[in-house]
Amino acid sequence: MTTTAAAPVVVATGLHVRYGTTQVLADTNLTVEAGAELAVTGRSGSGKTTLLLVLAGLLPPERGTVRWPGLDPAPVRRRGEIGLVFQAPSLLPELTAAQNVALPLRLRGSTVEAAGAATRAALGTVGLLDAADALPAQLSGGMQQRVAIARVLAGTPRLVLADEPTGALDRDSAFAVLAALRDSVTATGGALVVATHDDELAGLLAGRAVIDEGRLRSGARS
């Protein structure tokens, strides 16, 4: 399926992914254009997470191809242009909230100062500037997830792939976080793909796709 008529950020064609004997993705096609916001919904185990991992380039499909025409062709630099939010907060337990946010920037070559400024801005966006020096274990599950989202925001990615990003958040925080992610991709001219069970949340996004038995079909809204 295709989201909009703008230049594509990521194009997936004929994806097949199998875990053992279980077919997770079967002949799945997806093109996400710049500026697109896409909600991917489906039952548990329907392949949402797998699709996001494939789109992120972390999981090679058994068959089919993924291209990122809107991103840097060099894989290492391209990874910096893709922001991933996992279901679980997925923070490094030894680093503070600020360090967790700054880590991808530092790995990409940002100076300590530049990474620090971006980190403070991102933590401010998710309302956790005061918790910058706290270790993940000192934060609640929701706060940890907001730190993980701040980590994505700080990197100003052109493609944001979020897997149930608001599962651990209250409604207000969930909407605020989603707004922040939308603002981020709007600012970079990129695209946002959110895998979610939450119909209300999915409804806030411009596009929607449903994944069922490994096949993707278009949702109700564009």
Partner 1 sequence: MKALPWLAGLCRRRPFELLGAAVSIALAVAFIAALGGFVSDSTAGLTTRAAARVPVDWQVQVTPQGHPADVAATLARTPGVRAVLPVRMAIVPALQSSSATGSRTTGQAYVVSLDPGYAEAAPAEVRYLLGAHDGILLQQQTAANLAAGPGSTVTVSLPGGGQKALKVDGVADLPQADSFFQVVGAPPGAGATAPPDNVLLVPPPQFAALTGGATVIRQFHVLFGHAALPHDPAAAAALLTQRANHFQAQVAGGALVGDNLGAALSAAREDALYAQLLILLLGVPGLALAAVVAALVVALRGERRRREVALLRLRGARPAQILRIVAAETALTGGLGVLLGLPLAVLAVWLALPAGAHLALGWTVGATVAGLLMAAATQLGPAVRSTLRPGAEGIGTGVARVQPTGLPWPLRLGLDAVLLAGAVAVFALTARGGYQVVVVPEGVPVATVNYAALLAPALAWPGLALLIWRISIVLLGRRTGRFAFSWAARSGPGRAPEMEAAVIRARRRVIARGAAGLAVALGLAASTAIFTATYDKQARLDVALTVGADVAVTQPPGAVVGPGGGTALAGAPGVQAVEPLQHRLAYVGADLQDLYGIRPATIGRVAPLLDSFVPGSTIRTALHSLTTTPDGVLLAAETIHDYQLHPGDAVRLRLQTGPGHTYTQVGFHVVGVVREFPTAPKDSFIIANAAYIAKVTGSDAVGTFLIRSSTPTTTAAALRQSAAPGVQVHDIVADRAAVTSASGLASADLSGLSHLELGFGLILALACSGLALALGITERRRALVLLAALGATSRQRGRFLTAEARALLAGGLVGGAVIGTAIAYLLVKILTGIFDPAPTGLTIPAQYLSALVLSVLAASAAVLVVFGRLAGRAGPSQLRDL
Interaction site with partner 1 (CB under 8 A):
17, 19, 49-50, 53, 56, 58-59, 76, 79-80, 82, 84, 86-96, 99, 102-104, 106-109, 112, 135-137, 141, 144, 151
Fill in the amino acid letter for 168: A
Please say whether the beta carbons of 202 and 208 come within 8 A: yes
Per DSSP, helices labelled H in the chain are 48-55, 75-80, 97-107, 112-125, 141-154, 171-188, 199-203
Q: Which is nearer to partner 1, 7 or 88 (CB)?
A: 88
For the CB of residue 70, give the shortest distance to partner 1 in the complex, in Å: 17
For the CB of residue 151, give the shortest distance to partner 1 in the complex, in Å: 8
Q: Which is nearer to partner 1, 42 or 104 (CB)?
A: 104
Give the count of alpha carbons within 13 A of 4, CB side only: 16
Q: Which two tokens stand for residue 46?
A: 């329907």
For the CB of residue 117, give the shortest distance to partner 1 in the complex, in Å: 16
Q: Which is nearer to partner 1, 30 or 82 (CB)?
A: 82
Q: Which is nearer to partner 1, 104 or 219 (CB)?
A: 104
Q: What is the dihedral of CA 27, 28, 33, 34, to 10 degrees?
A: -130
Fill in the amino acid letter for 123: L
For the CB of residue 71, give the shortest distance to partner 1 in the complex, in Å: 12
For the CB of residue 108, give the shortest distance to partner 1 in the complex, in Å: 7
Q: Which is nearer to partner 1, 136 or 219 (CB)?
A: 136
Cα separation, 64 vs 216, whole angstroms: 14
Q: Which two tokens stand for residue 139?
A: 């934060």
